[in-house]
Amino acid sequence: MSYGGLQLEMNFDSSMNRFQNCLDNGVFVMLVEQSAPTTGTDPAIAGERLQELEYAVLNINELPTGLAITDRFGTPDTWSASQYAASLSPDTRDRHVIYISGRDATMEEAGEKVKLCSAGGFRNIVPVSGNLYPGETFKSGRNMVFSDSVCQLEMLRRIKAENPFFCGCVCNPYKYAPKDLFPQYLKLIKKLDHGARFVVTQIGWDMLKLQELRWYLGYRGLHFPTIARLMILTPERLEKLQGGHVPGVRISPDFNTILENELKYSHNQFEAAQWRRLELQAAGCRLLGFSGIQIAGLDSPDKVRVAAKRVTSALNEFRNFDDWKQEYIEHLARAEMAPYPNCFYLFDKLFSSAHLDGTAEMTQFNSEGLSKREKRLYRLRKFMFPHADRQNPGAHFIAKKLFAGCQECSHCRLPQTFFVCPETCPKGLANGPCGGTRADGSCELGEQECTHSKMMRLAAWRRKVHRLEERYIEPVERVIG
């Protein structure tokens, strides 16, 4: 079987996938997140540590549990997730989820990671576009290749009936302005249209935003399993979040105050507070219709076992949404979980009930307008480059660079992206944004407005927002240097 040279060697019973069976049958699951280690780590030690965690995971009886192996999440200098996962038991690989990062990987190289997963008998994969890291700049981002998660999903979808994978995708619902939130959801729809069959959220603590995501999918008639990504905080992890070292993950001022107060007491009391928060989040997720949770920060077998007991206890403790909501609000002391005042939520009456009903309405809002200069530039670009996607990419390049900020690539896409060059995104993403934008809507690098927020505002002005979810843009060869 092939797509662009992709040859898959299947090494498993294609009818068996315990993780997929749980999601398909409404069985709540727990995934234990582990990041692939740095390349300097002794392979024997890393493999032994992962096997110890797997042993703990496989011996949990309270609820179905598996591992989620992330790819280049915290640092670029790591093994690939598929290499790291090779030490897992061959008989239980259908219980685990493998992430595939598009960072510093062409589509062909992303395909090689897929081949490793297929040959190793891994069924459940989540392609992601990949991260930028603290200290990196727009220039360093431009000097790398990022394979868009949508393109990776499409690559797998085109294998058609021979595709052995149960593919997922990621979404960051923790966006608090329409120009940031809608591009996330529109790209999510595109991912689902191109082969994703379950959704994993970014890390966050705002349960209203998790409910918003569930309601949005229901509003669109999209009944896909969703998994909420949660985190057990330690003082060290909190410091990283406060320093902005995890793109797309933010803590509100009120919540930060709560955490700082918890830090004033003993380490044991701080840890106990985090476990209780995990319990409330896990129970809330199930009541809101999530199919499971993925927990980061469980870095030892003992913590895995404690988490399973705590989560199971909470699922039994809270069977009713109203009882859970009261406990959740009291636990937060009515703290505001949004990062700044007057934040945007897509629906009114969130938390009025667990699930979307006929009384809920979408929040009314005014789209952020375009300046006269932006409108003039759009009209000028449309006049000058109406057929640029059908011409040699070098045609009119100087003019495109001057008037559209274009960078070199193997195929011009300006007419498909509202005449905003996708290469003005440091990752070169054309099918929608990553999840790393800052609270003010700027790129995670902080040097400019997110390219896809610009596209969103132009699409709204032209009344063609639907194109942002319907139009698939083929990957191109990025010119480096």
- pLDDT by residue (tens digit) across 442-469? 898 877 899 999 999 999 999 999 999 9
317 shares its domain with 436: no
Taking phi over 0 as left and psi of -120 to 50 as alpha, with beta for the rest, 209 belongs to alpha
Reported confidence tier of residue 384, pLDDT bands at 50, 70, 90: very high
- Residue 170 inside a domain? The answer is yes
Q: Max Cα separation, the chain?
A: 66
Distance CA 170, CA 73 (A): 13
Residues 6+ apart with CB under 8 A from 3: 155, 158, 159
- Residue 318 inside a domain? The answer is yes
323 shares its domain with 413: no
| Amino acid symbol at 69 | I
Structure tokens given for 266 = 């003993």
- Residue 208 inside a domain? The answer is yes
More confident residue, 469 or 406: 469
| Per-residue model confidence (pLDDT) at position 279 | 98
Residue whose structure tokens are 């399973």: 308
Structure tokens given for 109 = 């190289």
Asked whether residue 272 carries a pLDDT value surpassing 50, the answer given is yes
| Per-residue model confidence (pLDDT) at position 160 | 61
- Residue 477 inside a domain? The answer is no
Looking at residues 259-277, what average pLDDT do you find? 94
Looking at residues 104-117, what average pLDDT do you find? 91
DSSP assignment letter at 446:
S
184 shares its domain with 242: yes
- Residue 395 inside a domain? The answer is yes
Looking at residues 169-175, what average pLDDT do you find? 97
| Per-residue model confidence (pLDDT) at position 1 | 34
Asked whether residue 11 carries a pLDDT value surpassing 60, the answer given is no
* Average confidence score pLDDT of the chain: 91
Structure tokens given for 136 = 């990196």
Express each pLDDT in 212-233 by its tens digit: 999 999 999 999 999 999 999 9
446 shares its domain with 305: no
314 shares its domain with 380: no
Asked whether residue 361 carries a pLDDT value surpassing 90, the answer given is no
385 shares its domain with 326: no
User: Looking at residue 69, which CATH number applies to its domain?
Assistant: 3.20.20.220
Asked whether residue 287 carries a pLDDT value surpassing 50, the answer given is yes
Q: Which of 149-153, 231-235, 428-432, 438-442 has the lowest mean pLDDT?
A: 438-442
Are 471 and 195 in contact by the 8 Å Cβ rule? The answer is no
- Residue 288 inside a domain? The answer is yes
In percent, the amount of the chain with pLDDT more than 90 equals 72
| Per-residue model confidence (pLDDT) at position 5 | 52
Express each pLDDT in 240-255 by its tens digit: 999 888 888 989 999 9
Q: Which of 1-15, 41-55, 423-437 has the lowest mean pLDDT?
A: 1-15
Distance CA 453, CA 396 (A): 26
| Per-residue model confidence (pLDDT) at position 163 | 65
323 shares its domain with 407: no
Single residue among 331, 353, 384 that ends a domain in this structure: 331
Reported confidence tier of residue 78, pLDDT bands at 50, 70, 90: confident
Asked whether residue 10 carries a pLDDT value surpassing 50, the answer given is no
Single residue among 331, 350, 380 that ends a domain in this structure: 331
| Per-residue model confidence (pLDDT) at position 12 | 46
99 shares its domain with 245: yes
| Per-residue model confidence (pLDDT) at position 162 | 63
393 shares its domain with 264: no
362-371: b or e for each residue (b if 16 or more CB lie within 10 Å)? eeeeeeeebe
162 shares its domain with 237: yes
Express each pLDDT in 295-324 by its tens digit: 999 999 999 999 999 999 999 999 999 999
Are 431 and 467 in contact by the 8 Å Cβ rule? The answer is no
| Per-residue model confidence (pLDDT) at position 141 | 87
Reported confidence tier of residue 360, pLDDT bands at 50, 70, 90: confident
| Per-residue model confidence (pLDDT) at position 378 | 94
Asked whether residue 414 carries a pLDDT value surpassing 60, the answer given is yes
- Residue 4 inside a domain? The answer is no
- Residue 365 inside a domain? The answer is no
Reported confidence tier of residue 438, pLDDT bands at 50, 70, 90: confident
243 shares its domain with 112: yes
Are 279 and 314 in contact by the 8 Å Cβ rule? The answer is yes
| Per-residue model confidence (pLDDT) at position 447 | 73
Asked whether residue 2 carries a pLDDT value surpassing 50, the answer given is no
Reported confidence tier of residue 369, pLDDT bands at 50, 70, 90: confident
Looking at residues 5-20, what average pLDDT do you find? 65
323 shares its domain with 403: no
More confident residue, 293 or 404: 293
Look at the chain and report how many structural domains it folds into: 2
Asked whether residue 421 carries a pLDDT value surpassing 50, the answer given is yes
Single residue among 331, 363, 388 that ends a domain in this structure: 331
Distance CA 428, CA 458 (A): 19
| Per-residue model confidence (pLDDT) at position 51 | 96
In percent, the amount of the chain with pLDDT more than 70 equals 95
Its domain, for residue 256, covers 18-331
